[in-house]
Amino acid sequence: MGRMNNFVLFFITGQSNTQGTNSCVNLHDQRDHVDSRILSWNIYEHKWEIANLASVIGTKPANNQCFAFHFAKEYLKQYPYMKVGLIVYGSPNTSINHWVPPNVHLPPSNDIFKKDIGNVFVDTVNVISEAIKAAGRNYLDGVLWHQGEADFMETYEYYYYRIKHVIFMYRHYFSHPTKGLPFIVGELLSYTYFGKQNVILRALQNEDQLTRCASLFGLEHAPGDPLHLSTEGNRLMGQRYFNEYKMLFN
């Protein structure tokens, strides 16, 4: 489609909360309505299209919520003259070792059979490269990350050094040549189970000036499901991610 002016591109990856698991769309709620300024990359038809929560958005199933969609709506409240492109590629119930390429010397897993394989990372690099090329550029404006539940049995060191490596690798491939690449992570919902990961995720914003962590404290989870956000929780999660993104430029 050639170079698009006033177009910002965000990549979204992680586990099932990037896919809106156990949430739903309410077409009577204006917040879920289509906005022609929000586009999504169709990974199956290899094209940009208007994002619609009632349809598939990247890997997000039809009729599920998508916190990145609400991130985009918040972005447009601040910058109404822009367009926002979303590249959504999540992988539910997947450990971070699927984002870490093999042969990287990091602390080992508690499971001797669990190795870094990097298959999701390779897939996402291919998808991002195709999407940004179609938009006439070679960089992203931000990464939204939500992952960690699958690693709750691992040590602090295991997760810390891998998330650091994941951030480094995405920046290596997709940073703006002068502005870098903002990377926004989010806390995991269950503080009882995932306190270790949340400590790590919060600490990341002390590592560099382009990394922030969104607090999800107090957000509503899906009925009977403490691991996944409710419909309203997804909407508020998008707002909180945007608030952290905005902090990078204040």
Q: Read off the pLDDT of residues 62-92 as tens digits, 9 standing for 90 and up.
A: 999 999 999 999 999 999 999 999 999 999 9
Cβ contacts of 100 within 8 Å, gap of 6 or more: 106, 116, 117, 118, 121, 162, 165, 166
pLDDT at res. 246:
97
Give the residues across from 222 on adjacent strands: 225
Q: Which of 187, 182, 166 is nearest to 240 (CA)?
A: 187
The CA radius of gyration of the chain, in Å to the nearest whole number, is 17
pTM for this prediction: 0.96
Token pair listed for 196: 């270790």
Give the residues across from 212 on adjacent strands: 184
Q: Which helix (H) or strand (E) holds 21?
A: none
pLDDT at res. 50:
98
pLDDT at res. 161:
97
Backbone phi, psi, residue 11, to 5°: -105, 135
pLDDT at res. 250:
76
pLDDT at res. 129:
98
**What kind of fold does domain 7-247 have according to CATH?**
Rossmann fold (3.40.50)
> Rounded CA gap, 160 and 141, in Å?
24
Reported residue count of the chain is: 250
pLDDT tens for the 250 residues of the chain, in order: 445 679 999 999 999 999 999 999 999 999 999 999 999 999 999 999 999 999 999 999 999 999 999 999 999 999 999 999 999 999 999 999 999 999 889 999 999 999 999 999 999 999 999 999 999 999 999 999 999 999 999 999 999 999 999 999 999 999 999 999 999 999 998 766 678 899 999 999 999 999 999 999 999 999 999 899 999 999 999 999 999 999 998 7
pLDDT at res. 104:
85
